[in-house]
């Protein structure tokens, strides 16, 4: 963890009932996979959610109705940020492995796709954010490559019991134009740098450097309520809209 606190937006990705056996203890609750993001303005382009297959997650009571699935570490932090039914004390209703989350159907705010699925990503860190990441392959090189891996490697899908229909057809949803990179900046930069997989760390770091700042300074929204406006102008507006409608909360660590 850095010296400065990092503020994330937690996107509430709602698990669509009926719940599978491993979530039966949560019946009757509103259950969300809580994904930590620095780019709330990209939520229009969500195509899926990422979990770490070997990751340990828990279902924690946030208030009387809502349950968040995330790491115990982040649940403890949330409990000190007024996001726990009992202040400063996380209550875990069920322990769940990442493998048990794969294939869950989710409804996520702003996403054009009505239903998106939780899928495996090998590079998720359990000591950052919530251990849950939302996937925007148009604008995130990590997300693009992790999805590309699942799409191009049937054996990888087989290993994690990922059904073909959860990843195919592979459709990137264009949401932001960057003059230098077009409407699918992450895809373009991954192809230009000839990145082989989600594990190609150095090249992915370079791809992120190339796209991250440019998306903010030079990006224009090409979809949604703020279509035609600059990313840097609408980022706080979209963030506040999500917070006000209750589909996201702030989280610092």
Q: Where on the chain is the footprint of ligand A2H (CB under 6 A)?
A: 6, 36-39, 42, 124-125, 128-129, 131, 133-136, 139-140, 143, 208, 212
Provide the minimum distance between the beta carbon of 52 and ligand A2H in the complex, in angstroms, as a whole number: 8
| 91-109 burial code (b ≥16 CB/10 A, e <16) | eebbebebbbbbbbebbbb
| Closest residue to ligand A2H: CB criterion | 129
Q: Rank residues 38 and 250 by Cβ distance to ligand A2H and give the closer one.
A: 38
Pairing of strands 30-37, 66-70: parallel
226-231 long-range Cβ contacts below 8 angstroms, 24+ apart: 231/41, 231/176
Q: Rank residues 46 and 84 by Cβ distance to ligand A2H and give the closer one.
A: 46
Tokens of 17: 């009932």
Q: Rank residues 104 and 175 by Cβ distance to ligand A2H and give the closer one.
A: 175
Q: Rank residues 67 and 207 by Cβ distance to ligand A2H and give the closer one.
A: 207
Q: Rank residues 49 and 59 by Cβ distance to ligand A2H and give the closer one.
A: 49
Tokens of 113: 């796709």
Provide the minimum distance between the beta carbon of 127 and ligand A2H in the complex, in angstroms, as a whole number: 8
Provide the minimum distance between the beta carbon of 244 and ligand A2H in the complex, in angstroms, as a whole number: 20
Tokens of 41: 């303005």
Provide the minimum distance between the beta carbon of 172 and ligand A2H in the complex, in angstroms, as a whole number: 11
DSSP state of 196: -
Distance CA 245, CA 173 (A): 23
Q: Rank residues 17 and 97 by Cβ distance to ligand A2H and give the closer one.
A: 97
Distance CA 102, CA 154 (A): 16
How far apart, in Å, are the Cα atoms of 13 and each of 53, 133, 187, 210, 236?
18, 10, 24, 28, 20
Provide the minimum distance between the beta carbon of 65 and ligand A2H in the complex, in angstroms, as a whole number: 25
Provide the minimum distance between the beta carbon of 21 and ligand A2H in the complex, in angstroms, as a whole number: 27
């Amino acid at each position: 963890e850095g010296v400065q606190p990092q503020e994330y937006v937690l996107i509430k990705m709602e698990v669509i009932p009926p719940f599978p056996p491993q979530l039966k203890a949560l019946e009757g609750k509103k259950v969300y996979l809580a994904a930590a993001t620095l780019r709330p303005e990209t939520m229009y382009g969500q195509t899926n959610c990422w979990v770490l297959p070997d990751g340990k997650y828990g279902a924690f009571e946030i208030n009387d109705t809502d349950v968040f699935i995330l790491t115990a570490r982040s649940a403890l932090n949330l409990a000190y940020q007024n996001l726990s039914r009992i202040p400063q004390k996380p209550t875990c209703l069920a322990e769940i492995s990442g493998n048990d989350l794969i294939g869950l159907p989710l409804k996520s705010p702003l996403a054009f796709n009505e239903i998106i699925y939780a899928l495996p990503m090998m590079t998720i860190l359990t000591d950052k954010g919530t251990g849950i990441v939302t996937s925007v392959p148009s604008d995130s090189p990590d997300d693009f490559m992790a999805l590309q891996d699942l799409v191009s490697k049937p054996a990888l899908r087989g290993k994690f019991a990922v059904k073909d229909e959860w990843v195919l057809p592979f459709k990137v949803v264009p949401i932001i134009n960057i003059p230098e990179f077009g409407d699918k900046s992450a895809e373009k930069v991954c192809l230009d740098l000839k990145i082989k997989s989600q594990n190609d760390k150095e090249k992915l770091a370079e791809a992120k450097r190339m796209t991250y700042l440019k998306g903010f300074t030079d990006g224009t929204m090409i979809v949604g309520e703020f279509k035609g406006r600059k990313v840097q102008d609408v980022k706080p507006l979209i963030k506040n809209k999500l917070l006000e409608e209750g589909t996201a909360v702030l989280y610092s660590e």
